[in-house]
Chains A and B, each alone.
Chain A
Amino acid sequence: MKWRNVLKAAIKSILKNRMRSLLTSLGIIIGVGAVIVMVAIGQGSQYRIKKEIDALGANMLIIFPSHSRMGGVSRGAGSYNRFTLADTRKLQKESSLCAGISAIVASSGQIIGGDSNWNTRIYGVDPKYLEIRAWPLKSGSFFTERDVRAKAKVAVIGQTVKENLFPDSNPVGERIRINNTPFQIIGVLSEKGQDPRGMDQDDVVLAPSTTVLYRLKGGQYISFMMASAISTKDIGAAQEELTGLLRDAHKIKPGEDDDFVIRNQAEITEAAASAAHILTLLLGSIAAVSLLVGGIGIMNIMLVSVTERTREIGIRLAVGARESDILVHFLTEAVVLSLIGGLIGIGIAYGVGEILNHFTELTALIHPEIVMMAFGVSGAVGIFFGFYPAKKAARLNPIDALRHE
C-alpha cells in the first residue's frame, strides 16, 4: 500500500462523518489546549519572577556576615564577625572581577521634609550602588567618592518617599531632616517597584555609607555588601575572588569556615523559579489528564466505527487487504484524527494565551518546545488508543465481515 493512499482513505473517512470526527477530536483539542495554556501560565510566572529578580541588579552578588565558629563550637547568630567599612575598602581596592562593590549600612528613621514627615528605610551606600542595582536616577545626581570621604549630608530619595514628602514639587535641592540631622536632597531615584518578596523598593533614602554609619547610626559595623561581577560568566570567579579577599581580611586560617556568606543572583533566581516550576508541573499534569480522557474518547469512537464499518472491512479483506493493511487504515485514521485535534488545540491555546496576556494579570508564555511536545503527544495518544480498535478490525474474518448487516 502506498502511504498517500492510506492517508487519503483516512482523511476521506474522517470527512464522511464530519460532526462525529469533530466531537471525537474535541477531547484532544481541549486536552492539548489545556496542557499548552497551563504550562504557558506556569512558565509565564517563572519568567516574571526571573525578570523581577533581574531587576534587582546586574550580575549581583550579596555578601552577608555569618556566624563564626570557635573550635567547633558554633557561636550562633549573635556572634557575627561583622563587616567594617575597611573590609569594603579592601575589596573595592583589590577585586579585579567586580565592576562595583558597595557597603550597605541599613538604618531607618523619621524624615521631616516639605510639609510632612515619613518613616522609611535609610541605606548608607557607596557611589557604585546604583550601577550594581541597575537603578537609574530620575533626576538630580548621585553622591561621589568625595561625599563619602567627607561624610557629606546629602541624600537621594526613592519615588515613594518623594510622593509622600514632595508630591507636587521637584525635591532636588530641598532640605530634609533625618533623625534631626539636616540633609540636602541631590537626586531622586526612578521607580523600581516591588522586590520578589513584595517589599516596596522605592520606599528608601540613600546616603553616603560613611554619613549613615557615623552620623546617623553610630558604631563601626556595616550591614552587608553588594557587588556586581563584570559579566554574567564571571559571577562564579568573582565570588571566589571575594571569598579569598575576605578570608584574608578576616585572617581565617585554611580549613576554617568562612565567617560570611556570598549569595549570587543565580541562586536567588533558582530558588524562586523552582517554586514556579512546581506550579508548572502541577498545572501541566492536571491538564494531561484531560488529554488522556480525550484519548479514551478516540478509542470509544474508533470501536463504534469498527462495528459500523464491518462490511467495509469485509470488502477490503475480500479484495486482498492484509491484516496489517486494515490495522494501518484504522490506526492512521485515529492518528490523523488526534493530530487534527492537536493542531486545533494548539491554535486555541495561542488564542487563549493572547487573551490572558492582554486582558488578565496572568502571563502566558508559550514555548515552541511545549507546542511540539503537545503535538507529538497527541499523535502518540492516537496510536495508543487507536491500536486496540484497529487490531479488532484487522482480526475480523472476511466472510463474517461481509455478511455483517
Chain B
Amino acid sequence: MSTVIETRNLKKNYEMGSVIVHALRGINLSVETGEFVSIMGASGSGKSTLMNMLGCLDTPSDGEYLLDGENVNNLTRNQYADIRNQKIGFVFQGFNLLAKTSALENVELPLFYDRSNRVPHTLKAAMGALERVGLADRVHHQPNQMSGGEQQRVAVARALVNNPAIILADEPTGNLDSHTSVEILALFQELNDQGITVVLVTHEPDIALYSRRVIQMSDGRIVGDRTVKNRLIAKEVLPTLPTIENGENGEDKS
C-alpha cells in the first residue's frame, strides 16, 4: 500500500487584525491508499481548515504536504488548480452543483478543465460515473428536479469522474435526513470497497462509525487516531431504518 496523504507539522495561522488565530498547530497525518478515514471534531477544532489544506484549496502557513507522493508546497495557483482537477474529488455539505445544469453536465465539469486529457471520452466517463452512483436514469435532470440524496450522488459522481487519488467529503450528510445519509454512506463504502480512498469530515460520531479509521481533532491538533472496531455497514443498516415515505425524503435544496 502506498501513502496518499502525508503531512508533516502542517500549520495554518490566520491574522484577524492584530490577533493571530492558530487554526492548525502542527498536523502529522498519513493516509494510505484504500483507507476510509473520518476526521471528527467540534466546530473550530480545525477540521475544515485541514480539509481545505488536504484539498489544495488553501495553502499552509508552515509544514509540508505530500499528496500521492508529490510535494505540493509552494505551487502556483494554476498548479493547485491542476492538482484539484486531477488528484482530488470533492463532495460538499451543500452539494455545490451548478444550478439549471443537468446532472450529466455537472459531472462533466471537471473534465472540461482537465488539461492532461487523461479522460478522452468526456461523455462516456460522465455517464460511467453516474452509473456508479446509481443515477443512470436521471442524467438529464437538473438539481432542482432531484432530491437531496440524488443531488449528493451527482456530486459524488462529479468527484469520481476524473479518477482522483482521493475523495474528500466535507460533511456530506449534513444536509440530509438520516435515511438518505446512510444511503450516501453506503455509496462511499461501496466506492471504498472498490479501492477508492475516502476522507470524510464530520462532527457526528454516528457517521464516523461507518469509516475504518477516526481521527479526532481539537483546537488545531490531532488528539485521537483510532481504528473503528465493528464498523457499521450501511447496506446492513438501511433495512432497519424507518423509511420516510413520500416527499420528506431528504428534500433539502440548498
Are the CB atoms of B77 and A323 closer together than 8 Å? yes
A24 to B162, CA, bound (A): 37
Whether B110 sits at the interface, judged by CB under 8 Å, is yes
Whether A319 touches B113, Cβ cut-off 8 Å, given contacts A398-B57, A399-B57, A402-B92, is yes
Size of A's binding interface in residues, CB under 8 A: 22
Contact yes or no, B158 A319, CB < 8 A: yes
Task: List the B side residues contacting A312 at CB < 8 Å.
Answer: 98-99
B82 within 8 A of A: yes
Whether A322 contacts B96 by the Cβ 8 Å rule is no
Instruction: Report B-chain residues with C-beta under 8 Å of the C-beta of A324.
Output: 78
| Chain A residue at minimum C-beta to C-beta distance from B48 | A399
Residue A70, interface by CB 8 Å: no
Distance between Cα atoms of A167 and B20 in the complex (Å) = 105
Q: Which of B77, B81, B85 has the most CB of A within 10 A?
A: B81
A316 proximal to B (CB < 8 A): yes
User: Smallest distance from the beta carbon of B99 to chain A beta carbons, Å?
Assistant: 8
Kindly supply a per-residue 1/0 record for chain B positions 77-98, scoring 1 wherever the CB is within 8 Å of any chain A CB and 0 otherwise: 1100110111000101000111
What residues on B are CB-neighbors of A311 within 8 Å?
A: 96
How far does the Cβ of B253 sit from chain A's closest Cβ, in whole Å? 14
Point out the residue from A316, A323, A402 that lies within 8 Å of B109, measured CB to CB.
Answer: A316
A320→B86 contact, CB < 8 A: yes
A2 at the interface (CB under 8 A from B): yes
On chain A, the residues within 8 Å of B113 by CB distance are 1, 316, 319-322, 325
Question: With a CB–CB cut-off of 8 A, which chain A residues contact B85?
Answer: 319-321
Least distance between B150 CB and chain A CB atoms (Å)? 17
A319 touches B90 (CB 8 A): yes
Q: Are B78 and A2 in contact (CB under 8 A)?
A: no
Whether, in the assembled complex, A116 has its beta carbon less than 8 Å from a beta carbon of chain B, the answer is no
Interface centre among B58, B84, B97, B99 (most CB of A within 10 A): B84
Interface string of A1-45 (1 = CB under 8 A from B): 110010000001000100000000000000000000000000000
Q: How far is the CA of A321 from the CA of B162 in the complex (A)?
A: 13
Q: Does B100 contact A (CB under 8 A)?
A: yes
Nearest neighbor of A402 in chain B, beta-carbon distance? B96
Q: Given A312-B98, A399-B57: A321 and B92 within 8 A (CB)?
A: no
Contacts of B86 in A (CB 8 A): 320
Nearest A residue to B82 via CB reads A320
Whether A314 lies near B112 (C-beta < 8 A) is no
A238 at the interface (CB under 8 A from B): no
